Amino acid sequence: MEIIRMERVSVTVKDETGDKLIFSDLHISVDRGEKVLIRGRSGIGKTTVFRLILGFTRPSSGGIYFEGRRADPDLFWEVRKRTAHISQDSDIGEGPVMALFGEVFSYSANRGKFSRDDLGALLLGFSLQEDVLTKKFENLSGGEKQRIAIIISLMTKKDIFLLDEITSDLDAALKEKVVDFFLARPEWTVLVISHDPEWEREGVRIIDFAEVVSKTKVGKHAGQ
Ligand SMILES: Nc1ncnc2c1ncn2[C@@H]1O[C@H](COP(=O)(O)OP(=O)(O)OP(=O)(O)O)[C@@H](O)[C@H]1O
């Protein structure tokens, strides 16, 4: 069953030079439970697709559909509640890591989802020591920050995952573990933006971004 569809979506943003077309006529359809890797050159608009799915960026034309319903503000709200988004910017907070967990799980959408046992198991699973919880998030390494963001997203018990370059700072063994983890759950719909070949596994559909838009801001046409 189709969960997300983008139909002829174009995005224009305003910057200091005026209106700027990011891409036009984007077509993407994703079924529930699919694992999809979105690839394409830097700046082509991959992150913008995640922002469209969450309703943070509005299309200048075209339609976005979830489970066949055309998206409106109420529906975007529902989608956000079901979706874990890990952005490229791993600076998700400051202060002791445990306090960060406290904050995330105090949000109404996440209330009642925190489990100390799950946290312990995930720390172990992603090769983090318990004492990471007492450290300040801003002092962690890039790879430690990525793993904490991944653990938070997993603990919030969502069924749609938007993962933007989440393995870039991990070593080979950890990359493998993270990819194994996200691909193992048939019920999860997982969209990944990555330049990392570790995601090119059996069962992962690869979308080359340039092939699903008709035009990008440099005037590139599909298939060229
Ligand atoms: N709100 C905005 N205002 C101005 N420009 C924007 C805005 N949002 C996105 N852009 C521009 O749109 C283009 C696409 O950005 P996007 O982050 O989607 O690319 P990307 O394919 O994810 O790139 P990367 O692989 O480098 O992360 C970039 O040139 C970016 O600067």
- 89's CB contacts (< 8 A; 6+ apart) are none
DSSP assigned state of 214: S
Q: Whose CA is nearest to atom 29 of ligand 1?
A: 43
Predicted local distance difference test score (pLDDT) of residue 224: 36
List the structure tokens of 105. 């799980």
pLDDT for 218 beyond 70: no
Predicted local distance difference test score (pLDDT) of residue 220: 39
Our mutation pick for probing the ligand 1 site, out of 13, 196, 212, counting the most ligand atoms within 8 A of Cβ, is 13
Distance 47 CA to ligand 1 centre (A): 7
* For range 44-73, the mean pLDDT: 96
Predicted local distance difference test score (pLDDT) of residue 16: 86
Res. 216 pLDDT band, cuts 50 70 90: low
3-class DSSP state of 188? coil
Residue, of 13 and 161, whose pLDDT is higher:
161
> Which ligand 1 atom is the nearest neighbour of the CA of 88?
27
* For range 62-87, the mean pLDDT: 95
Say if the ipTM goes beyond 0.85. Answer: yes
pLDDT for 180 beyond 70: yes
pLDDT per position as a tens digit, 96-137: 999 999 999 998 888 889 999 999 999 999 999 999 999 999
> Which ligand 1 atom is the nearest neighbour of the CA of 195?
25
Fold for the domain defined by 2-94+159-216: Rossmann fold (3.40.50)
Residues with CB under 6 A from ligand 1: 13, 15, 22, 40, 42-48, 88
> Which ligand 1 atom is the nearest neighbour of the CA of 22?
12
**Averaged pLDDT of the chain:** 92
Which is it for strands 204-208 and 35-39: parallel, antiparallel or unpaired?
parallel
| Domain coordinates in residue numbering, the chain | 2-94+159-216
Chain centre to alpha carbon of residue 224: 27
Predicted local distance difference test score (pLDDT) of residue 91: 76
* For range 13-31, the mean pLDDT: 92
**Least trusted range by pLDDT, from 12-16, 180-184, 215-219, 220-224:** 220-224
44-to-30, 76, 184 alpha-carbon distances in Å: 20, 24, 29
Predicted local distance difference test score (pLDDT) of residue 222: 36
Predicted local distance difference test score (pLDDT) of residue 76: 95
CA distance 208 to 213: 9
Please state, as a whole number, how many other Cβ atoms lie within 10 Å of the Cβ of residue 22: 19
pLDDT for 13 beyond 50: yes
Q: Whose CA is nearest to atom 9 of ligand 1?
A: 48
pLDDT for 221 beyond 60: no
Q: Whose CA is nearest to atom 30 of ligand 1?
A: 43
Predicted local distance difference test score (pLDDT) of residue 93: 85
Distance 87 CA to ligand 1 centre (A): 13
pLDDT per position as a tens digit, 32-53: 999 999 999 998 999 999 999 9
Distance 96 CA to ligand 1 centre (A): 31
Res. 217 pLDDT band, cuts 50 70 90: low
